[in-house]
Chain A
Amino acid sequence: MEKVITGKAFVLGDKIDTDQIIPAEHLVYSLSDPEEKKKYGYYAFSGVPLPESGLPMGHKPFIKGDNYLSEYAIIIGGGNFGCGSSREHAPFALQVAGVKAVIAESYARIFYRNCVDGGFLIPYEGFEKLNDKIKTGDELEIDISANLVKNLTTGDEFLLKPLGSVVSIIEAGDLFEYARKTGMIAKG
């Protein structure tokens, strides 16, 4: 596991549901084909209404042009991030787009599980609402061992909630690696 995650922030509002993360019409593409899966990056956050995309100003697309990689690696969300459907395509799409971590006020259960068990990205919770304190484009640095996010643009620092009981799965990489380490399933 990386010790430090750095990247530009992409800030969103409350209740970013899985249809906004990856609209249902795009769930038809293969997640294993190396070329086809890039479409998930290309369409990541394409369901977010443009005025709410990239706060506080909005009107900032997460993906520019024909890319599947975003310039933003850290998502700052509000409450109930990832609510809605069970589609693992949602954290997968963010991973394909280059997202390393989400920091939200709270998460919907299935999205949170999918991030951890699938090993797509780290879902952090802040102690306070951060989507009104960090701006889209701010350079951030997450110190994983210290549970701390530093805003290199403004100098602000915010403590993050410890990852808790799922930290062993996150450290292993995903649920399968965790199960191999603990002897639940045979080593591949």
Chain B
Amino acid sequence: MGMTITEKILAKAAGKSRVTPGESVWLSVDVLMTHDVCGPPTIDIWKREFGPEAKIWDKEKLVIFPDHYIFTANTHAIANVAKLRDFAKEYDLPNYYDPGTERYKGVCHMALAEEGYNVPGTVLFGTDSHTCTSGAFGMFSTGVGNSDAAFILGTGKIWEKVPESMLFWFEGEIPPYLTAKDMILQIIGDITTDGATYRAMEFAGPGVMSLPMSERMTLTNMAIEAGGMNGIIEADELTEAYVKARTDKSYELFKSDPDATYHSKYNYDLSKMEPMVAKPHSPDNKDTVRNVQGTKLTKCYIGSCTGGKLEDFQFAAKLLFGQTVKTPTYIVPASTWVDQQLDVETVNGVSLREIFVKAGCTIGESSCAACLGGPSDTFGRAQDDEVIISTTNRNFPGRMGSKKSAVYLASALTVAASAIHGVITDPRDVM
């Protein structure tokens, strides 16, 4: 009997010829990633458990991207980054990316891709639930807590229960009014926020493989919003070209066997899909943009590991060119590289940055920013009973700050279209 891509990668990492869903295995970890929120407690647990002689299993495989609470005056947050900085210095860590220096990268999931840590066929764990993003590179990646991360830091190993796989197959080519965000909001709405708990979400079909890498990353990024252990997309020529341009690490390409066993299979036809939103207060509270159009907004937000990638800003700039926003609109490039590209990439000969500034948007510095609320001085944070449309990933009560706020999740196209009119707007109405 065949195996899925997830099963094949886990079997390799477990040193086995095959694994079966439900089986617990010990995996050898290729990369451990952490950041400023979970890094400091992870280090404390590692020191407590492995003692004064604690050794990092492999310094080359530890990657630290401070990214959550970077541009804040909060003294506790500043102390957490300082703790990471001291740790990196004490242990002479090669892969630490310090805020305030040229090495600072922004949101970890983007940075993992840009800096060449996403390598097909490997296993990556991170202390962040959106670590599943890296699965867009034909690898296994998932989020863990501080204790699991501390265990990996000391041993290079971790246990995992082999997940059953769910297959999401997309036919057709994506129309200009749709994005990967609409595809994943549709899926989450269909299977709900625990529809993939303990399972792998495998995205496949011509509608997926015709997407650029950053759009594929939007699909795998939100696997956790359906409870998924990991999201995964087979690597192809596009993946290989992206990886080769950033690292000389060797990689292995895995593909699901035609007779692999799936928990379930879902088929979608891109030509029949609609721009989608997740209404307050859950990512599975799906509706079409059409059904909620006209909803009055107090803020529009384009950013995060989910919706702050270069393609997201290209989508937004196409609609915002020559327009003025009616609602305060906040732009947060996910990474410093994306931020730089705002000056390089153009629409009709005008840079993305100029388009956004002329439209009246406010551009913030690369970090997680208001996606998860954060300290009270966080850029774009939800205040009072605001109604926000956002390209981010979660709209649980209080996620973006104020407990009284209401957040609609949508694509960058839908957010930009809504910014122009000050109410939720279908992108087809402004294209």
Contacts and interface: CB of A to CB of B under 8 A. Distances in A.
B428 interface: no
B193 A110 contact: no
B397 A175 contact: no
Contact of A108 (B45, B126, B194): B194
Contacts of A85: 128-129, 372
Contact of A19 (B51, B126, B372): B372
Given A86-B129, A110-B129, A114-B145, A80 B398 contact: no
Contacts of A114: 144-148
Interface in B342-390: 372-376
A31 to B, nearest CB: 4
A17 B128 CA distance: 14
A64 B367 CA distance: 35
Given A24-B373, A85-B128, A85-B372, A15 B145 contact: no
A188 B147 CA distance: 17
A151 to B, nearest CB: 26
Contacts of A117: 145, 147-148, 151
B44 interface: yes
B147 A84 contact: no
Interface string A16-49: 0101100111011111100000000000000111
Contact of B398 (A47, A87, A118): A47
Contacts of B76: 28-30
B204 interface: no
Interface residues of A, number: 44
B144 A113 contact: yes
A36 to B, nearest CB: 8
Interface string A69-90: 0000000000110011111110
B394 A49 contact: no
A17 B151 contact: no
A32 B80 CA distance: 12
Interface stretch (B9-17, B33-41, B209-217, B234-242): B33-41
Most B CB contacts (10 A, CB to CB) among A25, A49, A175 go to A25
A150 B156 CA distance: 42
Contacts of A108: 194, 197, 227
B145 A88 contact: yes
A31 B41 contact: yes
B375 A28 contact: yes
Contact of A109 (B50, B197, B403): B197
Indicate the member of B145, B151, B394, B399 with the most A CB atoms within 10 Å: B145
Contacts of B37: 27-28, 87
Interface string B381-423: 0000000000000101111010100000000000000000000
Given A31-B41, A108-B227, A165-B24, A19 B145 contact: no
Contact of B193 (A15, A89, A185): A15
Interface in A162-186: 165, 174-176, 179, 184-185
Contacts of B396: 15, 17, 19-20, 84
Nearest to A47: B398
B143 interface: yes
Contacts of A23: 373, 398
A118 B374 contact: no
Contacts of A106: 194, 197
B77 interface: yes
Interface string B262-286: 0000000000000000000010000
B40 A86 contact: no
Nearest to A29: B76
5 contacts: A25-B374, A30-B41, A79-B194, A83-B193, A110-B143
Interface of A: 15, 17, 19-20, 23-25, 27-32, 47-49, 79-80, 83-89, 91, 106-110, 113-114, 117-119, 165, 174-176, 179, 184-185, 188
